[in-house]
Amino acid sequence: MPRFPGVYVAVITPFTADDRVDLPRLRAHVTWLIDQGVHGIVPAGSCGEYATLTDGEREQVVENVAEACKNRVPVVVGTGASSTRDAVRWAEHARRCGAAGIMALPPSAYRPSRREIEAWYAALDAVGLPIVAYNNPFDTTVDLVPELLEKLAQLENLVAVKEYSGDVRRIPLILERTGLEVIVGCDDLALEGFVAGATGWIAGLTNVVARESVALYDLIVAGKREEATALYRKLLPLFRYDSRPTFVQAIKYAFDLVGKSAGTTRPPRLALDEIDRAAIASALEPFLAVAKN
């Protein structure tokens, strides 16, 4: 049985007008996501702008999300960091907060050797929490190819991979070679990913269209391919922003459109231009009535 089936949301980090982490709004948003039917929450990922948070802010984000999710849905905490020491520290903090697992990027400060990648994940494995390895070769210098995952899968606690390479052909190969759970990492490959054998989805734009995302998953699991495809095509104009560098800005702008401001993104992320704002407004328009509730 998969450890992390269903729709997990890589939750945003809301900020106040004076650029402080808005913890009450964060807790309220997590509660809303759970009420919409999502299966889990992932704080402190790239969608949550972890790299721009101070250590104190990041601790508060994880602790508040864990409290909001308590006894309702599991939490999988992002451990992205530049050093092994820091990644392990965030994993240990996640364990103290009662997390069900961690989502672990590979080293990101420079291009590591394979031996260093293996040592990185071995250090995280020693913490004792289930690990979702996060393959994001666009934002790191590492591509966790199936051959490398086959080696990493020998670690006791590495149980899944969030696959964000964009190559859906990898999913069957990973399943064949490793036995790891595969979790879709690209919103605009969700349907294809599940058809290829993925059992979970860590989603970004689902922050805004949670109910529709869960409905898509339910249709796929029920084998209602035609209905799932129709809903997926309706969502795709919005979901395609998940694969762009401006995905966090897109989500936060969508929040503005539904009247649930989450503040701006922190630099170096800048506000969207007029073209993107218009495109997001158009993509979100079919869902506005639901998203505002």
Structure tokens at 139: 């934002």
Q: How far is Cα 281 from Cα 28, in angstroms, rounded to an integer? A: 24
Per-residue b/e over 5-18, b at no fewer than 16 CB within 10 Å?
Answer: bbbbbbbbbbbeee
**C-alpha torsion angle, residues 49, 52, 57, 62 (rounded to 10):** 30
- Counted residue by residue, the chain has a size of 293
Structure tokens at 60: 């508060």
Catalytic annotation present for 121 = no
Q: How far is Cα 9 from Cα 76, in angstroms, rounded to an integer? A: 10
Catalytic residue, candidates 8, 50, 121, 134: 134
Structure tokens at 248: 């966090």
Q: Using an 8 Å Cβ cutoff, are 105 and 91 in contact?
A: no
Q: Using an 8 Å Cβ cutoff, are 43 and 77 in contact?
A: yes
* Residue partners of 156: CB distance under 8 A and separation at least 6: 125
Alpha carbon 191 to chain centroid distance?
16
Catalytic annotation present for 162 = yes
Catalytic residue, candidates 50, 162, 253, 260: 162
Q: Which residues are catalytic?
A: 134, 162
